Structure 1
């Protein structure tokens, strides 16, 4: 009979006010949020990809230098053995040295290439036991990375490894096969 005394009924003014509090007017908010987040996320994603590509080339050069010098420290090895091993690994890992040759060592004034550093510039076969051999590889970043923001362009990526020459002759009564 009297609706104001009915426990189940609610005043109309209070109901409409509460429904307005529960459903805020957010038309277009998600579009703006998406636009703002994409502006931040896209450079982070592509920057990460660019950095990883540069690190991959650096790691490839490090592995190549290590394996190349390892091929050259054994008994009876020559400069050609080092070059052959270096060329194989660079080709396998798709690393380019630009215009530098992979069939001969670079000269000291060259910008890119494979550098062999030995005592007094001697050939590997002329070195004595325990003489250090260093292989240094320098590659351009332009041809090896996939730069998105051109951050890695016009840079040198280089790696080197040094080991000592192994003994050519047996020592004392010990024979090495």
Structure 2
């Protein structure tokens, strides 16, 4: 085999290898995109759940104070949710209002929000679920 034949053969092999790399990239790109956007969406849902938990805890902490009112507890939860950019949330007191609770009785605060309106990317593609966080504390 001459040197020119060997060089021509190497050029053909490099061209074939470039084509194989393009095909591999075309196959792997959709998988990588799904993994990246799926990770972002999962982190968004974890952040939403954590925000609801913190808001429920802070609302229950305010509601458990001896001189607290329902509106003060609700306002405290709203402040947390608004500062974290949560939308379409609902704050409720399923065990009764903190105003009516006596010392030593449980006070329950429940905070919920839908995932679809709080999703940065795939709100239209992921089925809507409502995340709920509930905290129970005893009245002081």
Q: Could you say which residue in structure 2 is the equivalent of 1:131?
A: 105
Which residue does the alignment assign to 1:40?
31
**Farther-moved stretch of structure 1 (135-144 vs 151-160):** 151-160
Conserved? CA contact 2:62–2:73, under 8 Å: yes
Superposition RMSD on alpha carbons, in Å?
A: 2.4
Q: Distance in 2 between matches of 1:125 and 1:27?
A: 73
Partner-residue secondary structure (3-state), 1:138:
strand
Q: Size of the alignment, in residue pairs?
A: 137
CA displacement at 1:15 relative to structure 2: 6.7
In structure 1, list runs of 5 or more residues that go unmatched: 1-12, 99-112, 167-177
Q: Deviations over 1:125-171 (max 9, x none)?
A: 332222111111111222111242745342111111111111xxxxx
Q: Is the contact made by 1:136 and 1:161 (CA closer than 8 Å) also made in structure 2?
A: yes
In 2: Cα distance, 1:15 partner to 1:39 partner: 42
2:138 is matched with 164
Shift of 1:16: 7.5
Name the CA shift for 1:18/1:149 in 2 (closer, same or farther; >3 Å).
Answer: farther
* Counterparts of 2:121 and 2:4, CA distance in 1: 57
**Which structure is larger by alpha-carbon Rg, 1 or 2?**
1
1:54/1:152 contact within 8 Å kept: no
Look up the match of 2:62: 71
Q: After the TM superposition, which segments of 4 or more aligned residues of structure 1 sit over 6 Å from their partners?
A: 14-19
Any residues of structure 2 matched to 1:1-177 within 5 Å, and which?
Answer: 13=1, 24-25=13-14, 26-97=17-88, 113-118=90-95, 121=96, 123-148=97-122, 150-166=124-140
Q: TM-score normalized by structure 1?
A: 0.67
